[in-house]
Amino acid sequence: MEIKNKNLKELEKICSDIRARIIDVVSRKGGHFSSTLGAVELTVAMHKVFDVKKDPFIYDVSHQCYPHKLINGRWDEFETIRQFGGLSGFTKPKESDADYFVAGHSSTSISLAVGAAKSIKLKKEDRIPVVMIGDGSMTAGMVYEALNELGDLKLPVVIILNDNEMSIAKPIGAISKYLSKILAGKFYQNFRDRVDRNIVQKLPDGATYIAKKIEESMKLITPGILFEEMGIDYIGPIDGHDMEEIIETLELAKNIGKPVIVHAKTVKGKGYTIAEGQHEHWHGVGPFNVDNGKFVKKSSDKAATAVFADALCELAKKHDNIVGITAAMPSGTGIDKLMKEFPDRFWDVAIAEQHAITSMAAMAKEGFIPFITIYSTFLQRGFDQIIHDVCLMDLPVVFAIDRAGIVGNDGETHQGAFDISYLRFLPNMILCAPSDDKTLEYALEFAYEATSPCAIRYPRGAFGKFEYEANKFELGRAELLKEGTSKKLFIGYGAGVSRAYETEKLHKDDIAILDLRFVKPLDEKMLRDLSKKYDDWYIFSDSQKEGGVSSAILEFLNKDRICVNVTSFEYEDSFIQHGDTKIIEESLGLLPSQLVEEIN
């Protein structure tokens, strides 16, 4: 789509067309919605002022990148957004050269821009990194690590702060906007440099002090003092939906020749009245009716997240030393319910997984039992803190790992494939997984009583259904759910148990089924006993094969010199793409009907 030569009226028409396209497609297919609608004018202005063919366009998280995709040759293909084999919901260089970097986790953009700016300087090229980052991403420490270096290096980088939620600092109306622009303009920059070089540096100490104080007092009347003090120039706040103002401001920022933050105030859901404002449920949506905003009815089965929230709420009523935390996902993890019920005991610390884990480690040391509730993919961000601040101290911290396994349309950056592999080798860590609603309740009760770190994983959506009388959890104790007359044994872990059941029903043989429950520690006695009766073992787990459940079992078998045939139905050594969960499972050969054929 041609942007460069368009006038203001034409650009506003393009914005209108982009919004209509997003509303139409997302209402039918689902996807990120309110954040991407709010970023339309900013994105169009970026493409007007900068050159996407040479300037790195770096989107933080990139859930706001739909307008970017539409501008850059994917208008027709946008029908396939987040569908299996179609466009990713995030930036992806394999799709287009206009996508500089893969993104799906927050707060990486400014670090990428610093690396890009260093490279550009070394190569002596005329390019400038352009970042779009939301105010939510500014809560993560990595952003300030990057800003700290950028303010020191003074490399040209333009950072567009898309502020659609919180005010970083209270603006002082039109005067603040005017002064901010003056402070960033060529005249002021040249004037300040000349004053500093020709006057301030040559004045006696007392006069220098006065001159510096005058300059500092000018900064104090703008809302960007935090960034200015870090060495980053600041412009704003500006209206993030006023195309003329955005273009004018970005032109200023482009010509400063130093790092600059452009603070733009936007409205989430802009252009679709029902979604405008702070409505969390409009951030990422399934299909909905455009006329009334009503969502297509979802499955009536209770999601594992809801089971977790209800069970933990009941447990917290019984034990006042239970506390909990999440990192910017209160409704996604169900912790919002506990935050309302126990506002002094459950917290959302924003996008700060490292801080969440370490702060809860201290609470565990003080005698509390913390439940850290984070998606599998985001728990990776706090890996060192799990080792250094929890496991090393052997503290009774509970990791409630939501979205374990395939999560569907968010794709490679969000699939919960690796948590078993990256937690299993940590000393003092207990790893367990429920297989249905009732055993999730039992797992939480067990974790509360545990005296070491304990991780519980459960899937997105509802558990599979199968009938059996579950017993309570005991450390390292598996449960044999069904004896078999054949030589085959199905070993299920977590949500893998229901898949084992479904597969067994389709198979002609009568096959034993074991609910492993614990991958660390393993129920070695049970496994030894079963090895005497069953020769062929099949492992069902929604996790990476390398370092996963089958690896744990094979290590045990090798240690005890036990000879059985082991086949793993875990994920192969590759990143899993986006799409409907069932379609992905079919592509991986993991549907029960496919597994029966594989076994045969």
DSSP state of 336: H
Domain identity same for 96 and 199: no
Short-list 356, 366, 355, 362, CA closest to 335: 356
Which pLDDT value is given to residue 467? 82
Which pLDDT value is given to residue 304? 97
Q: Is residue 452 part of a domain?
A: yes
Q: What is the C-alpha separation between 467 and 482, in angstroms, rounded? A: 11
Only one residue has tokens 């309110």, namely 34
Radius of gyration of the chain (CA): 27
Q: What is the CATH number of the domain that holds 82?
A: 3.40.50.970
Short-list 496, 497, 500, 580, CA closest to 544: 496
Domain identity same for 320 and 344: yes
For residues 205 and 175, the answer to whether their CB atoms sit within 8 Å is: no
For residues 530 and 489, the answer to whether their CB atoms sit within 8 Å is: yes
Domain identity same for 25 and 123: yes
Helix/strand/coil percent split, the chain, to 5: 45, 15, 40
SS (H, E, C) 259-272: CEEEEEECCCCCCC
One-letter amino acid at 585 equals: E
Q: Is residue 230 part of a domain?
A: no
For residue 555, give Cα distances in angstroms to 312, 322, 421.
34, 35, 13
Q: Is residue 466 part of a domain?
A: no
Domain identity same for 531 and 405: no
DSSP state of 77: G
Active site residue 353: yes
Which pLDDT value is given to residue 167? 44
Query: β-strands 158-163, 130-134: how paired?
Result: parallel
- Tens digit of each residue's pLDDT (9 = 90 or more) over 376-409: 999 999 999 999 999 999 999 999 999 999 998 9
Q: What is the C-alpha separation between 166 and 549, in angstroms, rounded? A: 43
Q: What is the C-alpha separation between 507 and 484, in angstroms, rounded? A: 12
Q: What is the DSSP string of 54-88?
A: TS-EEESS-TT-HHHHHHTT-TTGGGGTTSTTS--
CA 261 to chain centre: 24
Q: What is the C-alpha separation between 252 and 402, in angstroms, rounded? A: 44
For residue 276, give Cα distances in angstroms to 164, 273, 283, 324.
10, 5, 10, 31
For residues 21 and 75, the answer to whether their CB atoms sit within 8 Å is: yes
Q: Is residue 37 part of a domain?
A: yes
DSSP bridge partners of 348: 326
Give φ, ψ of 435 to 5 degrees: -110, -10
Q: Is residue 231 part of a domain?
A: no
Q: Is residue 229 part of a domain?
A: no
Q: Is residue 144 part of a domain?
A: yes
Structure-block tokens of residue 587:
């592509």
Active site residue 121: no
For residues 48 and 11, the answer to whether their CB atoms sit within 8 Å is: yes
Domain identity same for 516 and 576: yes
Short-list 265, 242, 277, 264, CA closest to 34: 277
Only one residue has tokens 């089924």, namely 513
Domain identity same for 514 and 452: no
Give φ, ψ of 490 to 5 degrees: -95, 125
Q: What is the CATH number of the domain that holds 549?
A: 3.40.50.920
Q: What is the C-alpha separation between 180 and 224, in angstroms, rounded? A: 8
Q: Is residue 21 part of a domain?
A: yes
User: Which of the following is catalytic: 381, 403, 424, 517?
Assistant: 381
Q: What is the C-alpha separation between 102 and 91, in angstroms, rounded? A: 5
For residue 599, give Cα distances in angstroms to 122, 503, 505, 511, 569.
56, 10, 13, 12, 10
Domain identity same for 561 and 520: yes
Q: What is the C-alpha separation between 45 and 249, in angstroms, rounded? A: 10
Structure-block tokens of residue 468:
């059996």
Neighbours of 366 (CB within 10 A): 10
- Strand, helix or coil at 132? strand
User: Which of the following is catalytic: 69, 265, 268, 499?
Assistant: 268
Domain boundary among 402, 426, 457: 457
Domain identity same for 25 and 151: yes
- Strand, helix or coil at 459? coil
User: Which of the following is catalytic: 41, 228, 353, 570?
Assistant: 353
Which pLDDT value is given to residue 233? 92
Q: How many domains is the chain partitioned into structurally?
A: 4
What is the pLDDT tens value at each position of the chain, 600 positions in all? 889 999 999 999 999 999 999 999 999 999 999 999 999 999 999 999 999 999 999 999 999 999 999 999 999 999 999 999 999 999 999 999 999 999 999 999 999 999 999 999 999 999 999 999 998 888 888 999 999 999 999 999 999 999 886 544 555 455 555 555 655 555 555 655 665 666 556 656 556 565 555 555 555 555 677 888 889 999 988 999 999 999 999 999 999 999 999 999 999 999 999 998 867 788 888 899 999 989 887 777 899 999 999 999 999 999 999 999 999 999 999 999 999 999 999 999 999 999 999 999 999 999 999 999 999 999 999 999 999 999 999 999 999 999 999 998 999 999 999 999 999 999 999 999 999 999 999 999 999 999 999 999 999 999 998 888 899 999 999 999 999 999 999 999 999 999 999 999 999 999 999 999 999 999 999 999 999 999 999 999 999 999 999 999 999 999 999 999 999 999 999 999 999 999 999 999 999 999 999 999
DSSP state of 128: -
Helix or strand holding residue 173 (H, E): helix 173-184
Task: Calculate the CA dihedral of residues 256, 261, 264, 265 and round it to 10 degrees.
Answer: -150
pTM (2 decimals)?
0.89
**Structural domain for 57, as ranges:** 8-165+238-285
Neighbours of 12 (CB within 10 A): 16
Domain identity same for 530 and 446: no
- Tens digit of each residue's pLDDT (9 = 90 or more) over 308-339: 999 999 999 999 999 999 999 999 999 999 99
Domain identity same for 518 and 554: yes
Which pLDDT value is given to residue 241? 95
Domain identity same for 323 and 211: no
CA 15 to chain centre: 27
Task: Calculate the CA dihedral of residues 325, 331, 336, 338 and round it to 10 degrees.
Answer: -70
| Residue-level length of the chain | 600
Domain identity same for 341 and 387: yes
Which pLDDT value is given to residue 170? 52
Active site residue 197: no
